[in-house]
Amino acid sequence: MNTRYEDAKIMYGQLGIDTDKVIETLKNASVSVHCWQGDDVKGFDQDGPLTGGIQTTGSYPGRARTPEELMSDLDMAMSMMPGTKKLNLHASYAIFEDGETVGRDKLEPKHFEKWVKFAKDRNIGIDFNPTFFSHDMVKDGLTLTSPDENVRRFWIEHGKACLRISEYLARETGKLCVMNIWIPDGYKDIPGDRLGPRMRYKDSLEQILSQEYDKNLVKVCVESKVFGIGYESYTAGSAEFTLSFAATHEGVIPLMDNGHYHPTEYVSDKISSLLCFYDEIALHITRPVRWDSDHVVLLDDETKELAKEIIRCDGLNRIHMALDYFDASINRVAAWIIGYRSLEKALMAAMLIPHDLEKKLQEEGRMTELMILQEQLKTYPLGDVWDKYCSECGVDGDLSWYDKIKEYEDKVLSKR
């Protein structure tokens, strides 16, 4: 393998790329790993179905049912993930002591103590999400936009509680906490009023943000969406809404989920537009198949294009990257690993491109040569640099990591 790496190093070196440096840069690029892949987005604070217009399909055995199971599965998954990881938690993953139940409007930092210990022991940071779905207080599919003031108040209090928790998570781990707000609110059929819900959403967000918090420790994002299952005709938190909200509210950054746009729109093309106007942006990286299906992320064209834009725009310090998918039809731990490693590979591929040269060719109008170079790079030995990276990070390579996951499935997951 080392000679293969040496050969690859020479090939990329001829293009002016230092593969050793690429490996070091990738090691430090942080990717947030979503806890919800392990339990089909169920959480621990309620027992109802998954709502909010999202869906996990499949019934592969081994879903994590308790915090202990989820932590153990996360450990297994993370042991096969090279690079810097953060844990992405939802408020619904609160851990209560025996018999205790607390409404989401009353959640406290102490309900996340065990997660803090988990993160500290592994020296990773935590990102956080208020959970505006799968709950009795979602009325007629609405939360922060509800015309029912009791409902809206409850969810505003939830948002404020989550800001306090996010600050605690950041303080404890010593690492920035990105808190992402996504609400499903909308209508299945043609609404009679589009402005009202959006004005209520705006007001609710402003009320949540009136909670004091340290802006150096917590970054608040707003995630847009175009439609959900059962919310086909209208969603309050559209792209225009969230972008405008973030642009006009200090300390708020926009989050783009690449499953949340029309099928011919590409988030890879949107990144540079936002970077002209925002210091920071955030991404949910997923794989939509025909709709916002949240399939496991693969090393496909759009993932590669997304990664290219992140690297080309020198965006590693300005773009918060998080994974967001949920597949219950295959081994869930493997699903985590495949998605994470695919994104890492895409980032590596992006770092192995001579961007200055491509830019020069474009600026000089040498589009034929640009096309030839881009096509050539597709068959360059990315895999040899990837193998070296995995071995330096102490994680198994592509041909062997599944052996250990299969063993874990036989010993642990299949007994659940």
Segment interacting with Zn ion, rule: CB under 5 A, options 39-47, 277-285, 305-313, 349-357: 277-285
Q: Which long-range contacts (CB under 8 A, 24 or more apart) does 63-71 make?
A: 63/38, 63/39, 63/328, 63/332, 63/416, 64/38, 64/39, 64/332, 65/39, 65/416, 67/93, 67/95, 67/114, 69/38, 69/416, 70/35, 70/38, 70/39, 71/118
Residues 209-228, interacting with ligand RNT (CB under 6 A): 223, 225
Rounded alpha-carbon distances, angstroms, from residue 22 to 58, 90, 136, 360, 377: 37, 32, 48, 21, 16
7 as an active site residue: the answer is no
376-379 own/partner pairs: CB under 8 Å, 24+ apart = 377/352, 377/353
Alpha helices for 85-131 (secondary structure H): 113-122
Size of the site for Zn ion (CB under 5 A): 3
Residues in region 42-71 near ligand RNT by CB under 6 A: 54
Choose the catalytic residue: 45, 157, 185, 257.
257
Asked if 292 touches Zn ion (CB under 5 A), the answer is no
Residue of 294, 324, 327, 409 interacting with Zn ion (CB under 5 A):
324
Q: Does 287 contact Zn ion by CB under 5 A?
A: no
CB of 257 to Zn ion, least distance (A): 4
Choose the catalytic residue: 167, 294, 344, 384. Answer: 294
| CB 86 within 8 Å of CB 35 | no
Q: Which of 34, 158, 260, 270 is catalytic?
A: 260
**Cβ distance to Zn ion smaller for residue 132 or 168:** 132
Which residue type sits at 188? K
The answer to the question of residue 185 lying near Zn ion (CB under 5 A) is: no
Residue 208 or 285: the one with the smaller Cβ distance to Zn ion is 285
284 in contact with Zn ion (CB under 5 A): yes
Q: Which is nearer to Zn ion, 257 or 280 (CB)?
A: 257
Size of the site for ligand RNT (CB under 6 A): 11
Site for Zn ion in 344-403 (CB under 5 A): none
235 binds ligand RNT (CB under 6 A): no
Q: 42: closest CA among 73, 71, 67?
A: 67
Interaction pattern, residues 128-147, with ligand RNT; x per rule: CB under 6 A: -x------------------
The DSSP element (H or E) to which 404 belongs, if any, is helix 401-411
Please report whether residue 257 would count as binding ligand RNT according to CB under 6 A.
Answer: yes
Task: Choose, by CB under 6 A, the member of 324, 384, 387, 409 that binds ligand RNT.
Answer: 324
Q: Which of ligand RNT, Zn ion, none lies near 54, with the C-beta cut-off 5 to 8 A by kind?
A: ligand RNT
Q: Rounded to the nearest 5 degrees, what angle is found at the Cα of 49, between the Cα atoms of 206 and 263?
A: 65
225 binds, options Zn ion, ligand RNT, none, Cβ within 5 to 8 A by partner type: ligand RNT
- Is residue 41 a contact point for ligand RNT (CB under 6 A)? yes
Is 115 known to be catalytic? Answer: no
Q: What's the rounded Cα separation, in Å, for the pair 89 and 166?
A: 10
CA dist 404 and 410 (Å) reads 10
DSSP strand pairing (186-187 vs 125-129): unpaired
The interaxial angle of helices 367-377 and 355-363, nearest 10 deg, is 160
Q: Identify which of residues 5 and 261 has a Cβ nearer to ligand RNT in the complex.
A: 261
- The distance in angstroms from the start CA to the end CA of the chain is 39
Of 91 and 395, the one with the shorter C-beta distance to ligand RNT is: 91
54 neighbors 92 (Cβ within 8 angstroms): no
Would you say 305 or 324 has its CB closer to Zn ion?
324
Longest dimension (CA), the chain: 69
Given a contact cutoff of 8 angstroms between Cβ atoms, the answer to whether 161 and 106 are in contact is yes
Residue 309 site contact among Zn ion, ligand RNT, none (CB < 5 to 8 Å, cut-off depends on kind): none
Give residue 120's Cα distance to chain centre: 20
Of 75, 112, 73, give the one whose Cα is nearest residue 93: 112
DSSP three-state, residue 107: coil
- Smallest distance from the beta carbon of 235 to Zn ion, in angstroms? 13
Closest contact distance (angstroms) between CB of 326 and ligand RNT is 7
283 binds ligand RNT (CB under 6 A): no
167 binds Zn ion (CB under 5 A): no
Question: Is 292 considered catalytic here?
Answer: yes
37 binds ligand RNT (CB under 6 A): no
Q: Which residues bind Zn ion (CB under 5 A)?
A: 257, 284, 324
Question: Which residues are known to be catalytic?
Answer: 182, 223, 225, 257, 260, 284, 292, 294, 324
Question: What residues line the site for ligand RNT (CB under 6 A)?
Answer: 36, 41, 54, 129, 182, 223, 225, 257, 284, 292, 324
